[in-house]
Amino acid sequence: MIEATSCGGVVIFRGKILLLYKNYKNKYDGWVLPKGTVEAGEEHVDTALREVREETGVKATIVQYIGKSQYSFVVPEDTVEKEVYWYLMSADSYYSRPQREEHFVDSGYYKYHEAYHLLKFANEKQILEQAYAAYQELRRKQ
């Protein structure tokens, strides 16, 4: 078994959520939240901010930690057990640019219900629910 750690963000601007569309050789395709692997010596918050910037072109700001998701997948030589640490983030515009090198072909901001139904993975839908609830709570307090 291989253990891997990633970090990512639920980026919100004016109530809309940033998603990426990945298409790899027409084998893998679907809408996802931006996330990526922790590099040696890197703090989780730094990974989350770096990965959001690399994958979307968005310079986001962390608002708060949301939670962790876990899943596994099989690669030819082993099984990967992955943990992903998620942060609620804010952006300062609707600008985004998908990272083509990672096979992201589209990106954009979507209303909560649109984003929820577009997301490919159940664990990312659950993180979106948690992040959006935290976002709404913060807005109520302002």
For the chain, 142 residues long, the average pLDDT of each consecutive 10-residue run is 96 98 84 97 98 98 97 90 97 96 94 97 97 96 86
Q: What is the pLDDT of residue 142?
A: 83
Asked if residue 46 lies in contact with residue 137, where contact means CB atoms within 8 angstroms, the answer is no
Q: What is the pLDDT of residue 10?
A: 98
Q: What is the pLDDT of residue 68?
A: 97
Q: Where are the alpha helices (DSSP H) in 4-95?
A: 44-56
Q: What is the pLDDT of residue 50?
A: 98
Complete domains list, the chain, with CATH: 2-141 (3.90.79.10)
Asked if residue 37 lies in contact with residue 4, where contact means CB atoms within 8 angstroms, the answer is yes
Q: What is the pLDDT of residue 16?
A: 98
Q: What is the pLDDT of residue 29?
A: 87
pTM: 0.93
- Helix or strand run (H / E) with residue 124: helix 122-141
Q: How many CA atoms lie within 13 A of 140 on its CB side?
A: 6
Length of the chain (residues):
142
